[in-house]
């Protein structure tokens, strides 16, 4: 892992391009949000941590989840949680608002969650799969 001398963030690639800014306050992301939004976020993080250690990075506009690389991002809103997972394949599901293919093994799946009950077994599997992408296991 390479650590930026200016902001202290760790990255999988040396001199990785990034927005060099100090991390923010996690709680500030949830100011004014329904309690279900925070509960959904916490359930998401708990599911990600079932796969292994996760670094939670409260950035200016999102909360990134990182292993070696970021594998998910969450953006709390007043009544829901927007987010995305990075997977090494494209999944066709109505649960994803958009799917963007950046490369054959870098596919962003955007979603919106309104409560922790939406994080069912299927979604749990996708989080675990994204975690493995964040750990770069798909490159081995």
The encoded tokens of residue 118 equal 């939406």
- The yes-or-no verdict on residue 16 having pLDDT over 70 is no
Residue 56 near residue 77 (C-beta atoms within 8 A): no
Q: Where are the domains of the chain?
A: 23-139
The encoded tokens of residue 45 equal 């993080």
- The yes-or-no verdict on residue 17 having pLDDT over 90 is no
| Count of C-beta atoms within a 10 Å radius of residue 75 | 17
Q: What is the dihedral of CA 91, 37, 73, 102, to 10 degrees?
A: 30
Q: 31 or 59: which carries more pLDDT confidence? A: 31
pLDDT digits (tens, 9 = 90+) for 38-96: 999 999 999 999 999 999 999 889 999 999 889 999 999 999 999 999 999 999 999 99
Q: How far apart are CA 95 and CA 104, in angstroms?
A: 21
Q: What is the pTM of this model?
A: 0.86
Residue 16, SS3 per DSSP = coil
Q: How much is the mean pLDDT over the chain?
A: 90
Q: Checking phi first, is residue 10 left (phi over 0); if not, alpha (psi -120 to 50) or beta?
A: beta
């Amino acid at each position: 892992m390479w650590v930026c001398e200016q902001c202290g963030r760790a990255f999988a690639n040396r001199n990785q391009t990034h927005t060099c800014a100090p991390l923010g306050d996690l709680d500030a992301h949830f100011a004014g949000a329904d309690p279900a939004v925070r509960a959904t976020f916490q359930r998401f993080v708990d599911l990600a941590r079932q796969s292994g250690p996760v670094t939670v990075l409260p950035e200016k506009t999102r909360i990134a989840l990182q292993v070696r690389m970021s594998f998910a991002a969450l953006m709390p809103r007043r009544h829901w949680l927007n987010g995305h997972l990075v997977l090494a394949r494209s999944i066709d599901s109505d649960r994803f608002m958009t799917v963007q293919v950046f490369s054959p093994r870098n596919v962003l799946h955007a979603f919106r969650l309104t409560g922790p009950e939406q994080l069912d077994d299927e979604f749990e599997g996708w989080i675990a799969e994204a975690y493995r992408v964040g750990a770069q296991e798909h490159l081995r």
